[in-house]
Amino acid sequence: ADLLEVYLKNENYTVYKFYNGTDALKCVEETEIDLAILDIMLPDIDGFSLCRKIREKFYFPIIMLTAKVEDMDKITGLTIGADDYITKPFSLAVLRARVANQLRRSRPAASLWQIGLYRFDFEAMEFSREGRPIALSPTEQKLLVENRGRTLPRERLLDRIWADAAFVEPNALSVTVKRLRDKLEDPGYIKTVYGVGYSWAVEP
Protein backbone atom coordinates (compact mmCIF):
# COMPACT_ATOMS: atom_id res chain seq x y z
CA ALA A 1 0.00 0.00 0.00
CA ASP A 2 2.81 2.42 0.84
CA LEU A 3 4.62 1.67 -2.42
CA LEU A 4 1.45 2.16 -4.48
CA GLU A 5 0.72 5.43 -2.70
CA VAL A 6 4.15 6.85 -3.58
CA TYR A 7 4.01 5.57 -7.15
CA LEU A 8 0.50 6.83 -7.92
CA LYS A 9 1.17 10.22 -6.31
CA ASN A 10 4.20 10.53 -8.58
CA GLU A 11 1.76 9.99 -11.46
CA ASN A 12 -0.22 13.02 -10.16
CA TYR A 13 -3.12 11.04 -8.67
CA THR A 14 -4.65 11.97 -5.33
CA VAL A 15 -4.41 8.84 -3.17
CA TYR A 16 -6.41 7.83 -0.09
CA LYS A 17 -4.69 4.86 1.59
CA PHE A 18 -6.25 2.52 4.15
CA TYR A 19 -5.19 -0.72 5.77
CA ASN A 20 -8.68 -2.11 6.42
CA GLY A 21 -12.04 -2.25 4.69
CA THR A 22 -13.99 -0.30 7.33
CA ASP A 23 -11.89 2.84 6.94
CA ALA A 24 -11.85 2.48 3.15
CA LEU A 25 -15.65 2.24 2.99
CA LYS A 26 -16.00 5.30 5.21
CA CYS A 27 -13.76 7.24 2.80
CA VAL A 28 -15.79 6.08 -0.21
CA GLU A 29 -19.00 7.31 1.43
CA GLU A 30 -17.56 10.71 2.38
CA THR A 31 -15.20 11.49 -0.52
CA GLU A 32 -15.63 11.75 -4.29
CA ILE A 33 -13.68 8.75 -5.60
CA ASP A 34 -12.81 8.08 -9.25
CA LEU A 35 -11.32 4.59 -8.82
CA ALA A 36 -10.62 2.04 -6.07
CA ILE A 37 -7.84 -0.56 -5.82
CA LEU A 38 -8.82 -3.33 -3.40
CA ASP A 39 -6.88 -6.19 -1.89
CA ILE A 40 -8.94 -9.28 -1.04
CA MET A 41 -7.20 -10.31 2.17
CA LEU A 42 -7.96 -7.49 4.61
CA PRO A 43 -7.90 -7.69 8.43
CA ASP A 44 -11.60 -6.95 9.00
CA ILE A 45 -13.79 -7.57 5.93
CA ASP A 46 -12.50 -9.27 2.81
CA GLY A 47 -12.13 -7.39 -0.46
CA PHE A 48 -15.01 -9.25 -2.09
CA SER A 49 -17.41 -8.09 0.64
CA LEU A 50 -16.02 -4.57 0.39
CA CYS A 51 -16.54 -4.58 -3.38
CA ARG A 52 -20.17 -5.69 -2.92
CA LYS A 53 -20.81 -2.91 -0.39
CA ILE A 54 -19.32 -0.28 -2.71
CA ARG A 55 -21.40 -1.51 -5.64
CA GLU A 56 -24.61 -1.02 -3.65
CA LYS A 57 -24.22 2.76 -4.14
CA PHE A 58 -21.27 3.62 -6.35
CA TYR A 59 -20.26 2.98 -9.96
CA PHE A 60 -16.63 4.10 -10.22
CA PRO A 61 -14.10 1.50 -11.49
CA ILE A 62 -12.75 -1.09 -9.05
CA ILE A 63 -9.47 -2.96 -9.58
CA MET A 64 -8.81 -6.03 -7.45
CA LEU A 65 -5.08 -6.33 -6.65
CA THR A 66 -4.39 -9.58 -4.84
CA ALA A 67 -2.21 -12.62 -4.30
CA LYS A 68 -5.20 -14.91 -4.90
CA VAL A 69 -4.52 -16.26 -8.38
CA GLU A 70 -7.16 -19.00 -8.73
CA ASP A 71 -9.54 -18.62 -11.66
CA MET A 72 -12.57 -18.89 -9.35
CA ASP A 73 -11.36 -15.91 -7.31
CA LYS A 74 -10.94 -13.91 -10.50
CA ILE A 75 -14.39 -14.91 -11.74
CA THR A 76 -15.90 -14.00 -8.37
CA GLY A 77 -14.27 -10.58 -8.37
CA LEU A 78 -15.44 -9.73 -11.87
CA THR A 79 -18.93 -11.11 -11.23
CA ILE A 80 -19.59 -9.03 -8.11
CA GLY A 81 -18.63 -5.78 -9.80
CA ALA A 82 -14.85 -5.43 -10.13
CA ASP A 83 -13.74 -3.99 -13.46
CA ASP A 84 -10.26 -5.52 -13.49
CA TYR A 85 -8.26 -8.12 -11.55
CA ILE A 86 -4.48 -8.01 -11.14
CA THR A 87 -2.51 -10.72 -9.35
CA LYS A 88 0.73 -10.36 -7.38
CA PRO A 89 3.55 -10.11 -8.23
CA PHE A 90 2.72 -7.33 -10.67
CA SER A 91 4.45 -4.63 -12.66
CA LEU A 92 3.91 -1.03 -11.54
CA ALA A 93 3.92 0.02 -15.19
CA VAL A 94 1.13 -2.46 -15.93
CA LEU A 95 -0.85 -1.21 -12.94
CA ARG A 96 -0.44 2.38 -14.15
CA ALA A 97 -1.75 1.38 -17.59
CA ARG A 98 -4.71 -0.50 -16.06
CA VAL A 99 -5.60 2.48 -13.86
CA ALA A 100 -5.45 4.90 -16.79
CA ASN A 101 -7.50 2.53 -18.94
CA GLN A 102 -10.27 2.16 -16.34
CA LEU A 103 -10.44 5.92 -15.77
CA ARG A 104 -10.64 6.51 -19.51
CA ARG A 105 -13.45 3.96 -19.89
CA SER A 106 -15.45 5.42 -17.03
CA ARG A 107 -15.46 8.99 -18.36
CA PRO A 108 -18.06 9.57 -21.08
CA ALA A 109 -17.30 11.82 -24.03
CA ALA A 110 -20.21 14.01 -22.95
CA SER A 111 -21.51 14.15 -19.38
CA LEU A 112 -25.08 15.07 -20.33
CA TRP A 113 -27.27 13.62 -23.07
CA GLN A 114 -30.76 14.89 -23.79
CA ILE A 115 -32.26 12.84 -26.61
CA GLY A 116 -35.96 12.63 -27.29
CA LEU A 117 -37.70 11.36 -24.15
CA TYR A 118 -34.44 10.76 -22.29
CA ARG A 119 -32.05 12.68 -20.07
CA PHE A 120 -28.78 10.96 -19.16
CA ASP A 121 -26.57 12.85 -16.70
CA PHE A 122 -23.39 10.77 -16.39
CA GLU A 123 -21.67 13.19 -14.02
CA ALA A 124 -24.50 12.98 -11.47
CA MET A 125 -25.24 9.35 -12.44
CA GLU A 126 -28.92 10.20 -12.98
CA PHE A 127 -30.99 8.74 -15.80
CA SER A 128 -34.61 9.51 -16.62
CA ARG A 129 -37.35 9.13 -19.23
CA GLU A 130 -39.89 11.97 -19.33
CA GLY A 131 -38.71 12.97 -15.85
CA ARG A 132 -39.12 9.47 -14.39
CA PRO A 133 -35.89 8.09 -12.88
CA ILE A 134 -34.39 4.94 -14.43
CA ALA A 135 -32.24 2.70 -12.23
CA LEU A 136 -29.34 1.31 -14.24
CA SER A 137 -26.67 -1.16 -13.16
CA PRO A 138 -22.97 -0.31 -13.73
CA THR A 139 -22.90 -2.68 -16.72
CA GLU A 140 -25.97 -1.07 -18.27
CA GLN A 141 -24.43 2.36 -17.75
CA LYS A 142 -21.23 1.29 -19.51
CA LEU A 143 -23.28 0.03 -22.44
CA LEU A 144 -25.24 3.27 -22.59
CA VAL A 145 -22.19 5.51 -22.45
CA GLU A 146 -20.74 4.12 -25.68
CA ASN A 147 -20.89 6.58 -28.58
CA ARG A 148 -24.37 7.05 -29.99
CA GLY A 149 -24.87 7.18 -33.74
CA ARG A 150 -22.07 4.66 -34.35
CA THR A 151 -22.20 0.96 -35.01
CA LEU A 152 -20.03 -0.85 -32.48
CA PRO A 153 -19.08 -4.51 -33.06
CA ARG A 154 -20.00 -7.02 -30.37
CA GLU A 155 -16.32 -7.78 -29.69
CA ARG A 156 -15.53 -4.11 -29.07
CA LEU A 157 -18.51 -3.71 -26.74
CA LEU A 158 -17.51 -6.83 -24.81
CA ASP A 159 -13.97 -5.49 -24.43
CA ARG A 160 -15.16 -2.07 -23.26
CA ILE A 161 -17.88 -3.23 -20.89
CA TRP A 162 -16.21 -6.26 -19.29
CA ALA A 163 -12.56 -6.07 -18.22
CA ASP A 164 -11.95 -9.71 -19.14
CA ALA A 165 -14.36 -10.82 -21.86
CA ALA A 166 -12.90 -14.34 -21.75
CA PHE A 167 -14.87 -14.97 -18.54
CA VAL A 168 -18.16 -13.61 -19.90
CA GLU A 169 -20.97 -15.84 -21.12
CA PRO A 170 -21.48 -15.62 -24.92
CA ASN A 171 -25.01 -14.22 -24.54
CA ALA A 172 -24.12 -11.69 -21.80
CA LEU A 173 -24.14 -8.74 -24.20
CA SER A 174 -27.50 -9.69 -25.72
CA VAL A 175 -29.01 -10.10 -22.25
CA THR A 176 -27.64 -6.73 -21.12
CA VAL A 177 -28.96 -4.98 -24.24
CA LYS A 178 -32.41 -6.50 -23.72
CA ARG A 179 -32.44 -5.49 -20.05
CA LEU A 180 -31.41 -1.94 -20.96
CA ARG A 181 -34.10 -1.72 -23.66
CA ASP A 182 -36.72 -2.90 -21.16
CA LYS A 183 -35.67 -0.37 -18.53
CA LEU A 184 -35.61 2.48 -21.04
CA GLU A 185 -38.92 1.35 -22.56
CA ASP A 186 -36.90 1.87 -25.72
CA PRO A 187 -38.94 2.81 -28.81
CA GLY A 188 -36.00 2.03 -31.08
CA TYR A 189 -32.96 4.09 -30.13
CA ILE A 190 -30.77 1.00 -29.58
CA LYS A 191 -30.40 -0.50 -33.03
CA THR A 192 -29.29 -4.05 -33.77
CA VAL A 193 -26.98 -4.21 -36.79
CA TYR A 194 -27.25 -7.85 -37.71
CA GLY A 195 -23.95 -9.65 -38.09
CA VAL A 196 -22.05 -6.69 -36.61
CA GLY A 197 -23.26 -5.32 -33.28
CA TYR A 198 -25.30 -2.41 -31.93
CA SER A 199 -25.65 1.34 -32.35
CA TRP A 200 -27.39 4.15 -30.50
CA ALA A 201 -29.42 6.09 -33.04
CA VAL A 202 -29.99 9.83 -32.75
CA GLU A 203 -33.64 9.19 -33.69
CA PRO A 204 -35.68 6.01 -33.09
pLDDT in tens, 124-156: 778 898 889 998 887 888 777 665 556 777 877
Query: Between vectors from CA 101 to CA 97 and to CA 104, what angle results, nearest 5°?
Result: 140
Q: What is the pLDDT of residue 27?
A: 94
Q: What whole-number distance in Å separates Cα of residue 102 and Cα of residue 16?
A: 18
Of 98, 101, 173, residue with least CA distance to 139: 173
Residue percentage of the chain with pLDDT more than 70: 89
The Cβ of residue 64 has, within 10 Å, a number of other Cβ atoms equal to 26
The Cβ of residue 28 has, within 10 Å, a number of other Cβ atoms equal to 19
Instruction: Judge if pTM exceeds 0.75.
Output: no
pLDDT in tens, 75-116: 888 888 888 889 888 889 889 999 988 887 776 555 777 777
Q: What is the mean pLDDT of the chain?
A: 83
Q: Which residues pair with 84 in a beta bridge?
A: 63
Q: Give the length of the chain.
A: 204
When computed from its CA atoms, the radius of gyration of the chain, rounded to whole angstroms, is 18
Confidence of residue 165 (pLDDT cuts 50, 70, 90): low
